[in-house]
Structure 1
C-alpha cells in the first residue's frame, strides 16, 4: 500500500474558511448535520437496553421517552460537533463533501454552538429527568466521540475505529441504567455487543471508501495496512462479537429465543468475514459485509426485545 502523505488534511486547509459564499441553510440542513441515521440506530440500541432491563413489568413510558429524548439530543449534538471538527477533511471526500458545514450551508460557528447546545440540553434532560448515572454515561460517550475520536485518533491512528467504538456502545447502557440506576454485568454485556460490532462494520465501510480516506489523509486500517490486515481484524472482531452476544443468555437477562437467534446471526457474520480470505474482489465483499452488519445490529437488538417480551407474557399467563 502507498504510504499516507506526510501533509495532513488539516495542514492543507487549516485556517481557511471557504464559507463566505455559503448558501442559506434550510431546516433539513440542521437535521442532516445531526446525522439522523446514526441517531436512529443508537436510539434503537437505547430502547433495547431499556427493555431488557424493564420488560413489561417495570416499563414506564414517561421514563423511556425522557431517556430517548436526552440520548437523542446528546448524540445529535456530538454528531454536529463532529461535522464542525471535520470541516477541513469532509470537503476532500466524495461521501462527505456535501455535508452542511463542508458544503458551506451552515457556518462553522453556528455548527459549534448548535452542537454544544444540543449536547448540554441532552445531558441536563438525562441528569434531571432520568438519573445522574445516565447523564454521566452520555457525557463519557460524547467526550470519546468528539474529543478522543474526532479531534485526535481519527487523524492520527488506525485505532480510531476501535477506540471510537466506545461511544457507540454507550446507548444501550444508558437504557439499562435508566431502569436499574446501576451498572452490572448485564450492562457490560450490552456494551460489549455494540463495541465489538463497530470495528467490522466500519472496516467494511473503510474498505469501500479507501481512496476517499486516502485523499483526506485519514489513517483508516485499509489505507495504512491494506486489505489483508483489515480482513484479519474483521474476522477477529466478528468472533469476539459472537461470544460477546452470548453473555446476555448466561447472565440471565435473555433466554433461549435470544440465544438461538444470536448463534445464527453471529454464525452468518463469521462466515461472511471468513469469506473475505477466499475472494480478491474486496469491493464486493466489503459491500456484502457492510450490508449484513446493519441487518445484524437490527436483528440482534430485536432478538433481545422479542425474547424478554415473550418471557414476560408467558409469566403473566
Structure 2
C-alpha cells in the first residue's frame, strides 16, 4: 500500500508539472526576479526594506502565470491530443478532469492577483496584461486563426521584467524597457524554431503557425529579421556595464549568423533544433548575467 501511494503521488506530481508547464513557468519567473533585483540595484534600495514586496511579487506572479498555463492546457486539450509532445498532459490522459483544471486555473490566477494586492498597482497592471495576452488574446483568440499568434503571444512573456521592477519603482526606465524589448523579440524566433521542429504536428492539429501556412523559407526570413532587431538593444543598456553589452552583442551576432546559415543548411529540422537550443541558453545569459555582474555592488 505504501509503495502504491508513493507511485500515485509521483504520477500526480508529474501531472502537475505538465499542467503548469514547469519549464515555461520557470523561464518566466527568472525575468521577474531579475527585474526586481535590478530595480533595487538602480534605486539603491536595501533588500531588507522590500522583503514583503519581494515575496508577494514572486509568489503572486508565479501563481498568476501558473493559472494562465493551466487555462491554456484546459482550452487546448483537443490540440494536445494530436501532438506527440503533449499527449502525456493530464488534460489528454484524463488524470484530471477539464472542469477541475478550469477551476484550478481560475482560482490559482485569482489567488496570485490577491497576493499582488500587497505590491504595487503598476505590478498588478503588467501582470494582468501578461495574463490577458496569454489566455485571451493568444490561447483563445489568435492561436488557431492567425499566423500572427506568435507575435501576439510574445507580449505575455515580455512584461515579466516589468512586473518585477514595478514592485520597487516605476518601470518607465531604460533597463526594464530594454529587457521587455529583448524578451518580446526573442520569443518570436524561438517560437518559430519550435514550430519548424513540430511543423507536422501543428499541421495535424490545425494550428496556423507560420511554417505550416507559409513554409520554411518564409519562416527563416522572419527569424532573420527579428534576430537582427536584437542587435542595437545592448547599447541601450550601457548602465549595466561594458561586459554585459559586449556579451549580448556577441550572442546577437552569433545567433544572427546561425539564422543566416539556415538559408544554406541541408537539414532544416536539425537547424531549427540548433536555434531552439541557442535561444534557450541566450535567454538564461540575458537574465542571469546582470545579477552576477551587480552582486559586488548590490545594496543588501
Match of 2:266 among 243, 262, 280: 280
Q: Does the residue aligned with 1:278 lie in a helix, a strand or coil?
A: coil
Distance change >3 Å, CA 239–CA 30, structure 1 → 2: same
Determine if the alignment matches structure 1 residue 30 to structure 2 residue 20: no
Cα deviation 1:201-258 (Å, max 9, x = unaligned): 1111001000000000001111111110100011111111232343222xx3x12121
Match of 2:251 among 251, 265, 278: 265
Deviation at 1:182, TM superposition (A): 4.3
Tell me what 2:198 maps to.
Answer: 209
Deviation at 1:280, TM superposition (A): 2.4
Measured in 2, the distance between the counterparts of 1:144 and 1:173 equals 15
- TM-score of the two chains, using structure 1 as the length reference: 0.86
Q: Does the residue aligned with 1:116 lie in a helix, a strand or coil?
A: helix
Deviation at 1:309, TM superposition (A): 2.7
Q: Greater CA deviation, 299-308 or 151-160?
A: 299-308
Aligned residues: 288
Tell me what 2:124 maps to.
Answer: 135
Q: Does the residue aligned with 2:85 lie in a helix, a strand or coil?
A: coil
Determine if the alignment matches structure 1 residue 169 to structure 2 residue 155: no
Tell me what 2:140 maps to.
Answer: 151
Tell me what 1:107 maps to.
Answer: 97
Indicate if the aligned counterparts of 1:93 and 1:216 stay in contact, CA closer than 8 A.
yes
Tell me what 2:218 maps to.
Answer: 229
Q: Does the residue aligned with 2:147 lie in a helix, a strand or coil?
A: coil
Measured in 1, the distance between the counterparts of 2:263 and 2:94 equals 42
Indicate if the aligned counterparts of 2:130 and 2:155 stay in contact, CA closer than 8 A.
yes
Q: Does the residue aligned with 1:280 lie in a helix, a strand or coil?
A: coil
Indicate if the aligned counterparts of 2:231 and 2:249 stay in contact, CA closer than 8 A.
yes
Tell me what 1:246 maps to.
Answer: 235
Indicate if the aligned counterparts of 1:186 and 1:248 stay in contact, CA closer than 8 A.
yes
- TM-score of the two chains, using structure 2 as the length reference: 0.91
Deviation at 1:181, TM superposition (A): 3.7
Tell me what 2:288 maps to.
Answer: 302
Deviation at 1:132, TM superposition (A): 1.4
Cα deviation 1:96-150 (Å, max 9, x = unaligned): 1221112211111101010001111111211x22111111111110001001100
Q: Does the residue aligned with 1:231 lie in a helix, a strand or coil?
A: helix
Alignment of 1:89-104 (within 5 A): 89-104=79-94
RMSD: 2.0
Determine if the alignment matches structure 1 residue 184 to structure 2 residue 170: no
Measured in 2, the distance between the counterparts of 1:31 and 1:270 equals 33
Tell me what 2:109 maps to.
Answer: 119
Indicate if the aligned counterparts of 1:55 and 1:309 stay in contact, CA closer than 8 A.
no
Q: Does the residue aligned with 1:55 lie in a helix, a strand or coil?
A: helix
Cα deviation 1:258-289 (Å, max 9, x = unaligned): 11111111111111111111112101100100
Determine if the alignment matches structure 1 residue 82 to structure 2 residue 39: no
Match of 1:45 among 31, 44, 61: 31
Measured in 2, the distance between the counterparts of 1:90 and 1:64 equals 35
More helix by share: 2
Q: Greater CA deviation, 82-91 or 31-40?
A: 31-40
